A and B are shown apart, each in its own frame.
Chain A
Amino acid sequence: MASKPRVKLPKSASAGEIITIKTLISHEMESGQRKDKNGEVIPRQIINKFTVTFNDKTVFEADIEPAISSNPYFEFAVKVPESGTFKFTWVDDDGSVYETEEAIEVA
């Protein structure tokens, strides 16, 4: 399943500033509750976990259920203490892991 993470956050911030981060990933989020034309249940395949770390410290997590929409969107806040790198990780039911990183400059 083609999944392309998109992340939006400011390139720079002042120390201790609270920034907003938006993320979106392309994923069908097959709920496991639908049936195909032959009446067979379509197996569940969702992204079940989303994790955000900053300089390797976990800052935000989401445990995700099939009730999250296709192309999952998350928006949350982070208080940025120093320059560093955010790492965003999405875990798929099939074991795939989608990752992306973004750096932020703290003046």
Chain B
Amino acid sequence: MTKKVILAASVLALFSSPVMLTKATADPADATLTIDGKEMTVKTAAPEGHPFDTLYSGWLYREPETRALEEDSFENPGMFGVEQGAELWSVVEGTAGKSCESCHAEPEVDMKGVGASFPKWDADAKRPINIELQIDKCREENMGAEPYKFDAAEQKALTAFIKHQSLGMPVKLDLSQGELQTWWDRGKELYYTRTGQLNLSCSNCHEDHNGQMIRADHLSQGQVNGFPTYRLKQSKLISLHNRFRGCVRDTRAEIPKAFSDDLMALETYVTWRGTGLSVETPAVRQ
């Protein structure tokens, strides 16, 4: 055992210089992000108990051309989703003859801050609730409408629209609500759990190796403050749980269900890891 430890240490020492060298060239960009005249917090001190000292938005890890797309909300194709959400707001659906607007007449005012403070504790369901699930809850309980299928275009558009009302506001969860802290703990455990044939945890890439490159992919801290995010790869809005599932799939593991207890716990914990960063929805990523 001792031998192995020494060996590992010497291996690390042997390679430390080239690793340092390459890492220096792949640091997050030193740039400021202003959207529609609002300055975003893309770099901030981490909250107490966080493994990092400084939090960086994923925006800082992207190439200048990708960054430019998010900077200009006219050019940002994710804004099509926000516009679609704004239209859906007043569409009446369900047996109660209501739309979102029936209860929330001024989304720009009523929804401000919502996107910065979810997931919240849902005392009825005794589990965390995110924006997608809150929309479904409203649809079922108040509108008499069917919940959306996971990743329905309308679900992503409404979520993006709601979160966009908090553009620039710092992410801040109230973990004292209900049992949210317990779910945070569970999410933390999952964050460090290795899955799949490739045997990888979230932390392997986004904590241990952020700033470095996997092939041409510049690993970020895995912040979630910009979801739903317009991804160039799919050329459409991508939800947070879609991304969670994509990452887990890439470890060659069975893919957890969207909005399952595990992924709600993970959403709670990972959202906390971005405390203080601005809501950027809809962010633009590669």
Contact = CB atoms under 8 A, between A and B. Distances in A.
Partners in one complex: yes
Interface residues of B, number: 9
A24 interface: yes
A47 to B, nearest CB: 14
B226 interface: no
A8 interface: yes
Contacts of A8: 74
Contact of B75 (A2, A24, A28, A70): A24
Interface in A1-42: 2, 4, 6, 8, 22, 24, 26, 28
Interface string B67-80: 00000001101011
B141 interface: no
Contacts of A24: 74-75, 77
Contacts of A26: 77, 80
A85 interface: no
Contact of A4 (B74, B80, B236): B80
A73 interface: yes
A22 B79 CA distance: 15
Given A26-B77, A70-B236, 13 more contacts: A2-B84, A4-B80, A6-B79, A8-B74, A22-B74, A22-B75, A24-B74, A24-B75, A69-B235, A70-B77, A70-B235, A71-B77, A71-B235
